[in-house]
Structure 1
Amino acid sequence: MNWRILLFIPAIAVGIGAFMIINNRGPEPATSNGVRPLVPVRVAEVVLEPVEVSVTGYGRVEPVRTWEAISQVDGQIISTTEDLAVGGFVSEGQVIIEVDPRDYEIALARAEANLAIAETQLSELNAQEENTAEQLALEQQIEAVVQADVDRRAALVESGSTSIASLEQVQRDLISQQRRVLDLENALALFPVQRESAEATLASRRVDVEEAERNLSDTRIIAPFDGRILEENAAEGVYIRPGDRLLTIAGGDTVEIVAEVQPAAMSSALALLIPDAADVIERFNPFETDAAINALNAAGISATVVLSQGTDYRYPARIVRLDGSVDNTTGTIGIVAEVDGAGIPDPATRRPPLTNGAFVAVLFQGSTQEPQAVVPRSALIEEEDGAYVYVVDDDTRLARRDVTVAGRSAGDMVISSGLAAGDTLVLTPPEPAILGTFLAPVRDSVQTAAQDISQ
């Protein structure tokens, strides 16, 4: 047995005893002159107010809609707009490219002439049918007269008042008249078929005119909306063919940004903004867009796009959807925000346009529904059984206060319960922190600015 170890036991026991005495002793006794020693500490008054919460995501500007001009006709480009260049702006209804229209004007005139002929032929056919019907009615009346004459002569022959020869003559006249009536009836029966053929020809001629008109209109490339030219492959004097890609326009009315954010950051923000956050966070599923958007709306989160070009330019945005996927490398999710009217210059705001591909930040911001306290992280002590802070009690002594942490940011902690407005928070507890120690508070301020729960 090593007896030297036993020599250290008394010293260790004395040290433990002294530590226990220090931690269990009461307030510092008064000095010989009756004044208690005071421990200086930095303190701040607790203020309860709604906490501004923000989550920052980053992404690139993309147009919500694009339009690609592909040639539908062949011919030589005879004119282009002065703005026909990548980055140039065009207005809705502006003629950007014009192809030589002469061949298509001739084709349209020919198609219109053929249409007029078909319309005339149908009109003539209708007139012929009407005339044939009137002639048939007249011939049928004559047939009835001849038939009556035949009947009368037959009666006379039976009475012996006339000869059989006269009866046979009128019978031959009746047969001839019946033949004329039959010919007209057959001719009239053919008119419906002839009309169908004429109407089909007329419809075909109308299609020819529509095609010729469309081809003629396709010789002019007109901007369908205000926007910026992203790509152009046309120039005056160039001969183009159907299928040639001429230019691409990005709409300037609305742009969108797929802002990549960490799901944990957004969940922390929701936990601060909504008292019953557990259910909301569970519903914040990047694969269920509608439920996630409902969660953001329930939290009152708004979006602002920030473009940094020496100066930060801000553009109000709206949250429209999630892209429904998680980045395999960064683990981020994409929240899509749209900005109206930011893709083209606006002299009124003097802000630069959000051009295609620009890298921007998107601030998702909200405010807590209930006033809460914000304390520096250094003032909070977190242990397995809970979190607490030190405060100055009414007797200017050090006291402990158990608190509930609602959320956290890079430098501050949001406290949902345990602190009241007007409490004096100890920012720098004495070492060792002995409850009941008399303090000499030195006033400071608690940072209550917007909490930046960033990635």
Structure 2
Amino acid sequence: MNTPTSGPPRSLKHLVLNIVVSIAILAGCLFGYTLLGERKRPARSKPNKPAATAVTTETLQRHQGPLSINSNGVVVPLREIRLATEVAGRVIKQSVNLRPGREVSEGETLIQLDPTEYEMEVRRLAAQKTQEDAELAAADVSIENTAHLLSLAEEQVQLASGERARTDALVARQAASVSEVEIAKRAELTAKSALVELQNRERELVAQRTLILRKQALTEVAIERAKLDLSRTTVRSPIRGRVVQSGVEEQSFIAAGTSFVTIEDTTAIEVRSNLTVDQMYWVWNSAAMANQFESGDHGDRVPPVSATIQYRLGKRVYQWQAVLTRIDGAGIDLDTRTYPCLLRVDSPADVVAVDADASRDPIMDDSPLAPNLVMDGPRRLMRGMFVSVTMNVHPSRTLYRVNEIAIRPGNRIWLDVDGKLRVVPVEVVSRMNNGVIVDADIDSAVPTATMKSDQVAVIVSPVSDPKDGMPVMGSGPTARQAGSTPTRIADDVSGLDSEKAAG
């Protein structure tokens, strides 16, 4: 059975159908493009470039009042005293406050050594002095007796001399023999010999009396030394302070010269703070320095600058008043390259509690909250506290206060001087809550007439490609606070919106 083939005619039919559909689609597209037409691109208008750059300015203000120099510090004791025993002995009594951390008062007995041996020494020397007084009295009696004997011996010598003279006269008249003359001479020599012996005895007694007086002087010195040693058996505290270290116990024996306690003075205290060279520059160039050292040759001395010591505990801040006193050392510290300065706090117990919130007023002692605040916190400065130091220096130079955003890279500010931008280098001296204190040579960049009229403005807005002398158009802080936008910035924003709409 033969089957008819229909393949080729069917393929031709499909081919013709595809061609017709394609032509119809192309014709429809051409008709739609011709009917709707081409959309024209909207014309964009570029704003005219202003002759001056719009900037936001603020008035340049002179800094009035003190300059705050902030640093950190550590509380250190004003002085530490190490007490040692000056005599040896056994401790028979000890103060209950002789423990580390406790306070002792001035004149308080710390330890009592056994005084028995030293009392016996005082009594022995007193007995020795009594004996020497008796010897001195005996020597005086001997000297007095010898003086009487001397007077008798002198009379005996006179009698013997007279007898010899008479014998010599009789011999001259041949009325006496030679033997009688010799007897008279012998009697005269005997009387003179007795006189010389008594004179020598008197000199010996006087020498003995002088020796006894010298012994008495030595004995008196020994008695004073013995009494001093006896008094040293009681060791008292020379100052009012806190015991830092103690190394003695009751009934223990302590040799002479043994250090047994270390006491720090609590009547005053010091804060050690490291100040940079820049900070010391403003301390040395303050009004207090000029008043104290008129000649200008101050060396490494510092003026008595007032300062506030702050210790933060939670949400509370505790303050003490201090004064800068001296530099601790011979100059700059080699490790930190700073000046180690010491500030003295004369009343470490006079604490003022201050709320940490700057918007609230300090809580003084007469406030009902002050006792609780002080009781909950430190009642006095203690060694080892890490504190904040704020010194109030009155600079002798003119400083300026600017907004922090006005400080440009490289420590520069931009001034609007008669419509021209002036770049002025500055030195940041201190930072405050509402600005930055800078030192700048404004006179060289601004005419004197402009300075007097208070028309110097500092630019606080960003400027693209700033150059010294470029024209600027400033808008004051009132316009900026009201929310107005400079013209150039508004035109740029509108141009961007047009480009987005065209796209």
TM-score, normalization: structure 1? 0.71
1:359 corresponds, among 377, 381, 386, to 386
CA contact (8 A) 1:59 1:360 kept: yes
Distance 1:439 1:58, change over 3 A: closer
- Corresponding position of 1:388: 414
Q: Quote how far apart the aligned CAs of 1:151 are.
A: 0.7
1:442 aligns with 2:456: no
Q: 8 Å contact 1:320–1:338 — kept in the other structure?
A: no
> Contact between 1:48 and 1:420, CA under 8 Å: does it hold in 2?
no
Pick aligned residue for 2:461 from 417, 429, 452: 429
Letter in 1 for 2:326: V
List per-residue Cα deviations over 1:344-397 (Å, max 9, x = no partner). Answer: x4699888333333333333331223554311242255789x753237x7xxxx
Q: 1:291 aligns to what SS in structure 2?
A: coil
Query: Could you tell me which residue of structure 2 aligns to residue 321 of structure 1?
Result: 327
Asked if 1:306 corresponds to 2:310, the answer is yes
1:194 paired to 2:198: no
| 1:70 equivalenced with 2:84 (yes/no) | yes
Whole-Å separation in 2 of the counterparts to 1:266 and 1:335 = 10
Aligned partners of 1:53 and 1:46: how far apart in 2?
17
Matched residues in 2 for 1:318 and 1:165: separation? 107
Structure 1 residue 140, shift from structure 2 partner: 1.9
3-state SS of the aligned residue for 1:369?
A: coil
Letter in 2 for 1:61: V
Distance across 1 between alignment mates of 2:261 and 2:194 = 70
Q: By how many angstroms is 1:155 displaced?
A: 0.7
- The CA distance in 2 between the partners of 1:112 and 1:182, in whole Å, is 39
Partner amino acid, structure 2, of 1:58: N
Q: What SS does the corresponding residue of 1:189 show, helix, strand or coil?
A: helix
**CA–CA distance in structure 1, aligned partners of residues 193 and 383 of structure 2:** 83
- Out of 256, 273, 277, which is 1:242 matched to? 256
* 1:79 partnered with 2:103: no
**Which aligned pairs between 1:258-337 and structure 2 lie closer than 5 A?**
258-267=272-281, 269=282, 273=286, 291-293=299-301, 296-297=302-303, 301-309=305-313, 310-337=316-343
Does 2:436 correspond to 1:412? yes
For residue 141 of structure 1, give the secondary structure of its aligned residue in structure 2: helix
Question: Is the contact between residue 68 and residue 430 of structure 2 (CA under 8 Å) also seen in structure 1?
Answer: no
3-state DSSP class of the match of 1:314?
strand
- The match for 2:357 is none
SS at 2:146 equivalent: helix
- Write the letter of the residue equivalent to 1:423: Q
Please, which of 111, 114, 125 is the counterpart of residue 111 of structure 1?
125
Distance 1:336 1:428, change over 3 A: closer
How far 1:158 moved relative to its partner? 1.9
Q: Does the 8 A contact of 1:227 with 1:252 survive in 2?
A: yes
2:426 alignment partner, SS class: strand
The 1:375/1:232 distance shift into structure 2, 3 A limit, reads: same
Question: Do the aligned partners of residues 420 and 230 (structure 1) sit closer, same or farther apart at CA in structure 2, a change above 3 Å counting?
Answer: farther
Confirm or deny: 8 A CA contact 2:121 2:226 kept in the other structure. Answer: yes
Distance 1:83 1:381, change over 3 A: closer
1:157-168 equivalences under 5 Å are: 157-162=171-176, 164=178, 166-168=180-182
- Could you give the per-residue CA deviations for residues 292-313 of structure 1, whole angstroms, max 9, x where no partner exists? 32xx43xx74444434444222
1:90 maps to 104
Decide whether aligned partners of structure 1 residues 302 and 416 sit closer, same or farther in structure 2, where only a CA change above 3 A counts. Answer: farther
Deviations 1:16-56 (A, max 9, x none): xx99x836x269xxxxxxxxxxx7x7654444343532333
Cα offset, 1:221, TM superposition: 0.5
Stretches of structure 1 lacking an aligned partner (at least 5 in a row): 1-17, 28-38, 285-289, 446-455
Check the 8 A contact 1:46/1:373 in 2, yes or no: yes
**Contact (CA 8 Å) 1:400, 1:435: kept in 2 or not?**
yes
Q: 2:117 is aligned with what amino acid?
A: D
For residues 265-292 of structure 1, give each alpha carbon's deviation from its aligned partner in whole angstroms, at most 9, with x where no partner exists: 433x359758xx9xx9xx99xxxxx613
Q: Is 1:125 paired with 2:149?
A: no
Where does residue 338 of structure 1 map in the other structure? 344
Equivalent-residue separation in structure 2 for 1:150 and 1:228 (angstroms): 93
Query: Is the partner of 1:93 in helix, strand or coil?
Result: coil
Give the structure with the larger strand fraction. Answer: 1
Structure 1 residue matching 2:134: 3-state secondary structure = helix
SS of equivalent to 2:201: helix
Question: Larger relative CO (CA 8 A, sep 6+): 1 or 2?
Answer: 1
The change in CA–CA distance for 1:178 and 1:256 in structure 2 (over 3 A counts) is: same
User: Structure 1 residues 208, 383: closer, same or farther in 2, change over 3 A?
Assistant: closer
Q: 2: distance between equivalents of 1:301 and 1:291?
A: 17
Say whether 1:255 aligns with 2:282: no
Give the drift of 1:262.
Answer: 2.2
Match of 2:29 in 1: none
Structure-1 separation of matches of 2:299 and 2:136: 63
Q: Which amino acid aligns with 2:101?
A: G
Q: Residue 319 of structure 1 contacts residue 336 of structure 1 at CA under 8 Å; is this kept in 2?
A: yes
Q: Deviations over 1:418-449 (max 9, x none)?
A: 4557437355437568835374752789xxxx
Q: Which residue of the partner structure matches residue 30 of structure 1?
A: none
Verify the 8 A CA contact 1:226 1:253 in the aligned structure 2: yes
In structure 2, list runs of 5 or more residues that go unmatched: 1-45, 353-364, 366-373, 482-503
Larger Rg: 2
- Structure 1 residues 440 and 227: CA distance shift in structure 2, 3 A: closer
After superposition, the CA RMSD in angstroms is 3.9
Alignment length (residue pairs): 390
Change (3 A) 1:60 1:135: farther
Q: 1:341 to 1:118 in 2, by over 3 A?
A: farther
